[in-house]
């Protein structure tokens, strides 16, 4: 096997730039001093790099711990921006970081980190020409600049000095953007110095992926409300990522070092809901053999996240309201009042205003929760974000399945973009994970990437139904779909109870439900459960 072809030049740092392309240097230095956003500064730099070299793609990578993460790319598919590259698994990147000057690679037997990720090329196409240089500031390596091409002779006439100059200017740009981000963050929150300077850096919670206008607006709203202690009500469809938004608000708040306590109100059985929220003392009820700390007490000094707040039992709502208004709670079975300092975030996929009008949710609690309402957009309202999210989930699938590079074919990418995604981001995540499992199980050549094509996705591009005048199905109902569904469920439950002579256990068997779930559904639908009926159940 042919050895890797490499050439290097001597030590090169930003302090020793010898300008050879005067106009390029002047333009980029002007951009460094201009009042530009990070994206505009990177976009102009990458445009200059492609003008000087014959590359098909270029990537600016910054060190994040032991990994390299893309901060700006050109000529690569969108999902490449969401990947993390480990030099320990990428010999080309490891060599670039160790070298004192530009490095060339001409042997395709050594895999390139961007194989299959060049925009407009098929996933199985290999990078045949690669150049790279480490990014250094005052001798410290902060990242790498990589240039890739499918033409094996693309860089034959590229001078090492030109690439070294580009690397120095790129290092200066990365460093400038870092400093500006630090200054902006320090001005917004004087008590903290930004520790997160790179987009996509892991913080223990999943990032808010997306660059659509809707996601930029959402991030702006998070920046506004997070430093306050205002109660936030997150609304949006199932699967849009309301929990991730709650984590982002908490992480950017003054309470970030304190706990974020998550309560799923939909999973709280009415019989133990009060104990879960407020705690109990020993002997408070049958089975209470020990003292128990409630969620509100656990969240003292931090944030309480009430997920699916619309499912909270109606009888518990006034107790929660009093606790939020007074800051005092009492454990079940105790007369002692405990003071708690809690910031509240609630989330729901229901129209709580409609629930209030229907008598299923208290209006005073609704207004206490909705001090700062924040809507999380559906995936169909986020054009361009599907590819970025797919790249993020592909990287997760690689780690979870222990396979090599997972890539999307162009047809698969187009199919993903064309979907309506009624299940939103969660549905997309599951589709990607299932497709990765199917694709990884298919035979392929040793070392070849795992390519996900349309059949592995298990979905089809939506077909446009022929136009009709609506006569076949009649006009659409004038009331909301949720109300129509509730009425249908109410009729089914009532019919099952009638046929079961009021026996709730038998009615639950007829409906294929657990008896407790039937009780909760009946309460939500406004059906009265009398004590006699409960005993008969």
Higher pLDDT, 222 or 18: 222
Q: Are 132 and 143 in contact (CB under 8 A)?
A: no
Q: What was the pLDDT predicted at 88?
A: 92
20-24, 358-362, 408-412: segment of lowest average pLDDT? 20-24
Residue 31 corresponds to which tokens in the numbers above?
């951009």
Question: Poorest-confidence range of 227-241, 454-468, 481-495?
Answer: 454-468
- What architecture does CATH give domain 213-375? 3-Layer(aba) Sandwich (3.40)
- Average pLDDT over the chain, rounded to whole? 80
- CATH 3.40.50.300 in the chain is located at 213-375
Say if residue 334's pLDDT is above 90. no
Residues of the chain with CATH 1.10.8.60: 381-457
Share of the chain above pLDDT 70, in %: 79
Paired sense of beta strands 232-235 and 372-375, if any: parallel
| Residue 240, beta-bridge partner list | none
CATH topology for 381-457?
A: Helicase, Ruva Protein; domain 3 (1.10.8)
**Which single residue is written with the structure tokens 């299959």?**
116
Strands 279-280 and 406-408: unpaired
| Residue that is written with structure tokens 């996705």 in the block | 457
pTM: 0.67
Domain limits, CATH 3.30.450.40, in the chain:
14-184
Q: In angstroms, rounded to a whole number, what is the distance separating the alpha carbons of residues 92 and 341?
A: 52
Residue 465 has pLDDT above 50, yes or no: no
Average pLDDT over every residue of 362-373? 94
Find the range with the poorest average confidence among 104-118, 124-138, 283-297, 484-498. Answer: 283-297
481-536, what's its fold?
Arc Repressor Mutant, subunit A (1.10.10)
**What is the domain class of 14-184 according to CATH?**
alpha beta
CA dihedral 410, 435, 402, 115 (to 10 degrees): -10
Pairwise pLDDT comparison (188 vs 105), residue with the higher score? 105
Least confident segment among 172-176, 194-198, 270-274, 458-462: 194-198
Partners of residue 69 on adjacent β-strands:
62
Q: Which one is predicted more confidently, 14 or 276?
A: 276
Express each pLDDT in 248-297 by its tens digit: 999 999 999 888 889 888 887 777 778 888 887 766 676 666 667 788 88
- pLDDT tens digits along 335-346: 777 888 999 999
458 band by pLDDT with thresholds 50, 70 and 90: confident
Question: SS3 letters for 276-338?
Answer: HHHEECCCCCCCCCCCEECHHHHCCCCEEEEECHHHCCHHHHHHHHHHHHHCEEECECCCCEE
- Taking the C-alpha atoms of residue 59 and residue 326, their distance in angstroms, rounded to an integer, is 54
Residues near 131 by Cβ (< 8 Å), separated by ≥ 6? 53, 55, 102, 103, 104, 105, 146, 147, 155, 158, 163
Q: Are 382 and 352 in contact (CB under 8 A)?
A: no
Rounded distance between C-alpha atoms, residue 50 and residue 129, angstroms? 15
- CATH 1.10.10.60 range(s) for the chain read 481-536
Does residue 464 have a pLDDT over 50?
A: no
Residues 505-530 pLDDT 10s: 778 777 767 676 777 778 777 776 65
CA dihedral 122, 418, 39, 89 (to 10 degrees): -40
């Amino acid at each position: 096997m042919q050895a890797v072809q490499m050439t290097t030049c001597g030590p090169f740092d930003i302090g020793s730039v010898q300008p050879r392309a005067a106009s390029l240097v002047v333009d980029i230095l002007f951009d460094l001093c201009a009042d530009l956003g990070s994206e505009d500064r990177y976009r102009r730099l990458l445009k200059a790099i492609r003008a000087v070299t014959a590359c098909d793609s270029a990537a600016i990578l910054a060190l994040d711990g032991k990994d390299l993460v893309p901060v700006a790319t050109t000529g690569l598919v969108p999902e490449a921006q969401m990947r993390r590259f480990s030099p320990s698994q990428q010999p080309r990147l490891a060599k670039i970081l160790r070298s004192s000057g530009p490095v060339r690679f001409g042997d395709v037997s050594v895999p390139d980190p961007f194989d299959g990720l060049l925009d407009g090329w098929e996933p199985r196409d290999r990078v045949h020409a690669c150049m790279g240089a480490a990014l250094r500031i005052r001798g410290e390596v902060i990242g790498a600049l990589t240039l890739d091409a499918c033409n094996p002779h693309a860089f034959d006439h590229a001078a090492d000095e030109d690439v070294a100059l580009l690397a120095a200017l790129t290092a200066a740009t990365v460093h400038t953007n870092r400093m500006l981000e630090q200054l902006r963050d320090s001005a917004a929150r004087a008590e903290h110095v930004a520790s997160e300077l790179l987009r996509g850096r892991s913080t223990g919670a999943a990032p808010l992926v997306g660059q659509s206008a809707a996601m930029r607006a959402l991030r702006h709203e998070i920046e506004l409300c997070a430093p306050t202690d205002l109660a936030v009500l997150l609304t949006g469809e199932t699967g849009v990522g309301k929990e991730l938004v709650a984590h982002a608000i908490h992480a950017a708040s003054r309470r970030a070092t304190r706990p974020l306590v998550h309560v799923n109100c939909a999973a709280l059985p009415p019989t133990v809901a009060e104990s879960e929220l407020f705690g109990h003392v020993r002997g408070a009820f049958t089975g209470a053999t020990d003292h128990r700390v409630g969620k509100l007490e656990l969240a003292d000094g931090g944030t309480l996240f009430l997920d699916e707040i619309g499912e909270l039992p109606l009888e518990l709502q006034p107790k929660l309201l009093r606790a939020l208004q007074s800051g005092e709670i009492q454990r079940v079975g105790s007369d002692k009042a405990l003071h708690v300092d809690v910031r509240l975030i609630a989330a729901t996929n229901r129209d709580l205003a409609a629930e209030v009008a229907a008598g299923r949710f208290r209006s005073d609690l609704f207004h206490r929760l909705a001090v700062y309402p924040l809507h999380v957009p559906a995936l169909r309202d986020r054009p361009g974000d599907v590819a970025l999210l797919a790249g993020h989930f592909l990287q997760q699938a690689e780690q979870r399945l222990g396979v090599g590079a997972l890539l999307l074919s162009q047809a698969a990418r187009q199919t993903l973009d064309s979907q309506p995604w009624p299940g939103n981001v969660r549905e997309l995540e599951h589709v990607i994970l299932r497709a990765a499992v199917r694709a990884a199980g298919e035979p392929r050549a040793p070392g070849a990437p795992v390519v996900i094509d349309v059949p592995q996705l298990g979905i089809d591009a939506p077909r446009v139904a022929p136009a009709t005048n609506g006569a076949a199905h009649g006009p659409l109902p004038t009331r909301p779909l949720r109300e129509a569904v509730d009425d249908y469920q109410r009729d089914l439950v009532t019919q099952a109870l009638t046929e079961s002579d009021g026996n709730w256990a038998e009615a639950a068997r007829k409906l294929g439900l657990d008896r407790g779930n039937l009780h909760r559904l009946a309460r939500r639908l406004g059906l009265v459960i009398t004590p006699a009926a409960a005993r008969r159940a």
